[in-house]
Amino acid sequence: MALLTAEDILNKKFAATKFREGYDVEEVDDFLDEVVRTLSSVQEENEDLRSKLAAAERRVAELSRSDAAAAAAPAPVAAPAPAAPAGKAPEPESATGMLQLAQKLHDDYVRSGQEEGDRLIAEAKSEGSRIVREAEETSHRTLSQLEQERSLLERKIDELRLFERDYRTRLKSYLQNLLGDLDARGAALPARNSGSGTPQL
């Protein structure tokens, strides 16, 4: 049976009895039994954790004393330590061993962090190169488009200049012809008047 949680206890609802006020005694007793079992399990777990903590503290104290004794006594010739099983870190036999293990873990974390940093830098460089390449391609396309538009505008300007020159030439020719006609008409008017005599009033 699963242990109760604090939420289970807070949210527990009892069924009311049919013929008298209050709750069903058997249901309340069963629930209290579950609470007692849960509390007992929690207490046993706490006791187990306290025992493990005390054992760990005793082990640390023993290792500290053995390190102090080893530092005072001459170093004996060390026999080769048995190889640890594959996939399992060797258990440190002294505080020095614990420090060495901690240093190894630290080095592993540093190396892992450096590898991750190198990977991120490589990705950043690759992304930067991609952005620069795309920007250069976009710039090249834009410049090509602007060059085409400039050539088109230059052609239109040349066409407008030709049209203006042609228009000016035609306008000048038209005005000269008009002036010539006016000069001819002006020269012809006195000749007609002299032939007709004095105009009558």
Note the pLDDT tens digit of each residue in 171-200.
888 888 888 888 888 777 755 555 555 555
The answer to whether 9 touches 36, Cβ cutoff 8 Å, is no
Residue 190 lies in a domain: no
Of 71, 92, 123, which marks where a domain is finished? 71
Which pair of tokens denotes residue 163? 């049209």
Say if 123 falls within a structural domain.
yes
Structural domains of the chain, count: 2
Which range (28-32, 76-80, 146-150) has the least confidence? Answer: 76-80
| Alpha-carbon gap, residue 176 to 129, rounded angstroms | 69
Nearest residue to 38 (alpha-carbon basis) of 89, 4, 87: 4
Q: Which residue has the higher pLDDT, 183 or 159?
A: 159
Is 170 among the domain residues?
Answer: yes
Residue 142 corresponds to which tokens in the numbers above? 């834009």
Domain coverage including residue 27: 1-71
Greater pLDDT, 200 or 57: 57
The token pair that represents 147 in the structure block: 């060059």
Query: Which amino acid, 19?
Result: F
pLDDT for res 82? 47
pLDDT tens column, 97-116: 667 777 788 788 788 888 88
pLDDT above 50 for 21: yes
pTM equals: 0.30
Question: Would you say residue 71 has pLDDT above 50?
Answer: yes
Distances in Å between the alpha carbon of 110 and those of 56, 58, 70, 87? 28, 32, 31, 21
Is the model more confident about 94 or about 137? 137
Count, residues in the chain:
201
95 in a domain, yes or no? no
Examine the pLDDT at 43 and tell me if it is beyond 70: yes
Domain-embedded: residue 10: yes
For residue 67, being part of any structural domain is answered with yes
User: Mean pLDDT: which of 36-45, 77-86, 95-104 is highest?
Assistant: 36-45
